[in-house]
A and B are shown apart, each in its own frame.
Chain A
Amino acid sequence: MKKTPTIALLGNPNSGKSSLFNQLTGLRQKVGNFPSVTVERKSGTFALDHSQTATVIDFPGLYSLYPKALDERVVIDVLSNPQHEDYPDAVIIVADASNLKRNLLLFTQVADLGLPVVLALNMLDVAEDKNLKINAVKLAMKLGVPVVRINARVGEGMDNLKKAIQETLTVNTGFQKYYFDPAEQFPELIGEVKQQYSLRNNYLALHYVQQHDIFSFVSPEKRAALDGLIQKHDFREHGFQAAETMHRYALIDGLVKDSVTTSNFIPKPLWTRRLDDILLHSFWGYAVFLMVMLVIFQSVFSLASYPMDWIDGGIAWLNDGLKSLLPESTLTSLLTDGLVAGIGGVVVFIPQIAFLFLLVAMLEESGYMSRVMVIMDRLMRKVGLNGKSVVPLISGVACAVPAIMSARSIGNRKERLLTILVTPLMSCSARLPIFTILIALVVPATPILGFFTLQGLTLLGLYLLGTVSALLSAWALRGFVPNTEKGYFVMEMPTYKAPRWNHVGIAVWESVRSFVVEAGKIIVAISIILWVLASYGPADSMERAEAQVRQAQPTLSGVDLDNAVAAQKLENSYAGHFGKFIEPAIAPLGYDWKIGIALLTSFAAREVFVGTVSTIYSLGAEVDEDNATLKDRLRAEINPRTGQPTYNLATSFSLLIFYVFAMMCMSTIATVYRETHGWKWPAVQFVYMTGLAYLLAFLTYQVLK
């Protein structure tokens, strides 16, 4: 046995595969990509016993080895290639016991590839609700592999599962017999393929024939050679695949006959039926959906504000403490105004992001998301999207990058591309910091109807604006997107389940961790660069700042003088010159050069805006204990030309509108490039979104000022 064996986790969607993965690995998870494809690869380690650890890889859920969605392709690509670094030593097939026949289809296919398999029977409680009794011992005898009863949600059966894996790894009984042997019908074809590619397995040879076009490890010449073989032997790919599936199902019928018994089969458990009556109802279905969305946004805004205030206060306290403890120097300024201010800008939004991810994860876990797809499909199709676009759109509220990647589940190319193009209009969590601060500045917290506040409703309004714009843009763009492939909506409706806190917790932890690490890196780097640009200027302009102030306002002294000098220095710095340069272009939107600096830096990533303004204003303004938090600093900021607060209603709303629409995220652009294989669509997206942003922010400012 290898030092650390690799175990692949395979199963149908909704079979509890991810729950099992979480049970096995806990927080020892790594999220990355499969080599050379952008499919999320979750792996982790777990102890098989005291001395032996194993690596487990969670593959995308799928119904058969013939992929129907893009993400599923990676499974057959890895399983057909023993040289692949993720090629498993053993496979755990997770099966939904309440739906055994359909789950066994994948099992028989994987077993036919000659891989050592353990069958994990999950969701036996749902099977019981359907009045199904499953005899695991009889099933194991019929299938000739270990069958383990588990409850992945609570972690039952893990020890037995590990024991079964260990046995499978050590006592390899060797390949027994094919459930489906393609060589029975096409002996010459299969024989020739096996010989030419030095394969030992008939079923693997069949996949070379059927799926070589998606094999990353087969060269174009070899693909052409396989096409030649198909012609020579008059092999009908389509008909043969259909025959294979029917053959397997017929066989499975016989296999499960003795091991699955039922007295009074109920196809839909009582609770699922009752909930569906409400959640798919023509009135209550939409009413509940709207309520769910409303509660999500309200709780994100109001509940998260408490921990956010603590963090905000804590950062200000830390900054003041450091400034009074450390001697006044360039290094201290870099540490406090640059680094701590930048990190604070990231950390403070963890509560909101965690809340959002928590609620989205709960909707997915509970099975409610599938119902939302069904009730939204007809409406989404009116604008050129798909019911399944709901998941990317809702996830887009957290982050557009995973959201755009989740659009792969949409089979139809046109609907998928449209979804990708409009998803970044959904207000992501990176915009939330900007929204939160600007709303808190200009909108009073007046309570409305008890539960809601004017601030919460404004935030909801911005999210609705983003959503409506996404739908309208899809409608407007649908004529420009070619439709080349046919896709399906066909989708399993899972039974409802109460979300498990530990699984939701892991999902939230992973999302928050990656936000802090990935976004944090950019934000801290830009904060430091910005501090440099704002602290130094061309030639001796910084030194001249003090003289300029003394000359212009000779009566100033003490703190007032220091502040005026600091402001003059910022204006004379590189950053100041930069902001002044673009000021004419943004003045019609109501922005000054300081906001200009923030706008430019946030083209890398929106969340940088908050870090930038906190760096700019902590350098350029007075800092005493009364206005130490960012919100207070912004409120105190005065436009020297008008004598009014810079962040008045018109400018703040113009900024809000700009950030709703503008395409300002490098990671999203890179993701769209990868997903659409070219620069055309990211370019289209950037131009239409940023154009809309400028135009609508301009209108907003001109109307409100």
Chain B
Amino acid sequence: MKTIANLKIGESAYIKAFLQPDLSLKLLEMGCLPGEEVTLDFVAPLGDPIGIQVNGYCLAMRREEAATVEVI
């Protein structure tokens, strides 16, 4: 299964499903909707957190959080 945490810098994918219900409420409000395109924007110096482009802006999250968002 591929998640946001598996993306490489500049790589895009579409959100398919959320694996963690509580976090999904927060991510939905931030504009991470099923079917939305996400692009990996940056990886912080020590490999974590990461930043994605979604819904027209940049959103940072920890790798473990990114791993709860399945993409295709």
Give the distance in Å from the alpha carbon of A99 to the alpha carbon of B56 in the complex: 6
Interfacial chain A residues near B65, Cβ < 8 Å: 488-490
Interface magnitude class on chain A? 35 or more
Q: What is the CA–CA distance of A397 and B30 in the complex, to the nearest angstrom?
A: 32
- Per-residue contact bits, chain B 2-46, to A (CB 8 Å; 1 contact, 0 not): 000000000000000000011111111111011000010110111
A280: contacting residue among B45, B53, B61, CB under 8 A: B45
Which residue of chain B has its CB nearest to the CB of A377? B49
A146 part of interface (Cβ distance < 8 Å): no
Whole-angstrom distance between the alpha carbons of A700 and B59 in the complex?
47
- Judge if A102 is at the interface, Cβ distance under 8 Å: yes
B22 in contact with A490 (CB, 8 Å): no
Report which of A64, A242, A379, A489 forms a contact with B61, defined as CB distance below 8 A. Answer: A489
Asked if residues B61 and A378 are in contact (CB atoms below 8 Å), the reply is no
- Asked if A493 is at the interface of the complex by the 8 Å CB criterion, the answer is yes
Q: Is B72 positioned at the interface, with any CB of A under 8 Å from its CB?
A: no
Q: A285: CB under 8 A from chain B?
A: yes
* Interface majority SS (helix, strand, loop, mixed), chain B: mixed
- B32 CB to closest chain A CB (Å) equals 9
In the complex, the answer to whether B51 meets A493 with C-beta atoms within 8 Å is: yes
**In the complex, are the beta carbons of A493 and B25 less than 8 A apart?**
no
Contact (Cβ within 8 A) B53 A490: no
Q: Across the interface, which residues of B come within 8 angstroms of A267, CB to CB?
A: 39, 53, 56-58
Indicate if the CB atoms of A242 and B24 lie closer than 8 Å.
yes
Query: How far apart sit A268 and B52, CA to CA, in the bound complex (Å)?
Result: 11
Which A residues are CB-close (under 8 A) to B44? 280, 374-375, 377-378
Instruction: Tell me if A509 is interfacial: C-beta within 8 Å of chain B.
Output: no
| Inter-chain contact A488/B59, CB cutoff 8 Å | no
Q: Total contacts A to B, CB within 8 angstroms?
A: 113
Which A residues between 294 and 343 are near B, CB-CB below 8 angstroms?
none
Residue among A246, A285, A286, A490 facing the most chain B CB atoms (10 A cut-off): A490
| Contact between A489 and B49, CB atoms less than 8 A apart | yes
Residue among A64, A130, A378 with max Cβ neighbours from chain B (10 Å): A378
Asked if A40 is at the interface (CB within 8 A of a chain B CB), the reply is: no
Residues from chain B with a CB closer than 8 A to the CB of A268 are 41, 53, 58
Answer whether A489 and B29 are a contact pair too, CB < 8 Å, given A374-B49, A377-B44, A387-B49. Answer: no
Chain A residues with CB under 8 A of B60: 370, 373-374, 489-493
On chain B, the residues within 8 Å of A377 by CB distance are: 44, 48-49, 62
Q: Which residues of A contact B58 (CB under 8 A)?
A: 267-268, 492-493
Tell me, rounded to whole Å, the shortest Cβ–Cβ distance linking A486 to chain B.
7
Q: Across the interface, do B49 and A242 meet the contact criterion of CB distance under 8 Å?
A: no
CB of A378 within 8 A of CB of B30, answer no
How far in angstroms is the closest Cβ of chain B from A213?
A: 15
Closest to B46 in A: A378
Instruction: Take A488-B23, A491-B59, A492-B57 as given contacts and tell me if A285 and B45 are in contact as well, using a CB distance cutoff of 8 Å.
Output: yes
Pair A101/B42 contact, Cβ less than 8 Å: no
Selected contact of B29 from candidates A63, A98, A282, A373, CB within 8 Å: A63
Report Cα–Cα, A102/B25, bound state, in Å: 14
Task: Report chain B residues within 8 Å CB of A286.
Answer: 45
A276 touches B (CB below 8 Å): yes
B29 / chain A contacts, CB cutoff of 8 Å: 63-64, 66, 68, 105, 245
Q: Say how far A501's CB is from chain B's closest CB, in angstroms.
A: 27
User: Per-residue CB proximity of A54-77 to B under 8 Å, as 1/0?
Assistant: 000000000110101000000000
**B31 contact from A101, A130, A281, Cβ within 8 A:** A101
Q: A493 to B61, Cβ gap below 8 A?
A: no
For residue B45, which residues in chain A have a CB less than 8 angstroms away from its CB?
280-283, 285-286, 375, 378
Sample of 7 further A-B pairs with CB below 8 A, known A268-B41, A379-B46: A105-B31, A246-B33, A267-B58, A374-B44, A374-B60, A375-B46, A378-B47
Q: List 12 A-B contacts (CB under 8 A).
A: A98-B57, A102-B31, A238-B22, A238-B25, A246-B34, A268-B53, A268-B58, A280-B45, A370-B60, A377-B49, A490-B23, A492-B57
Query: 3 closest pairs, A vs B, by CB?
Result: A282-B45, A378-B46, A493-B58
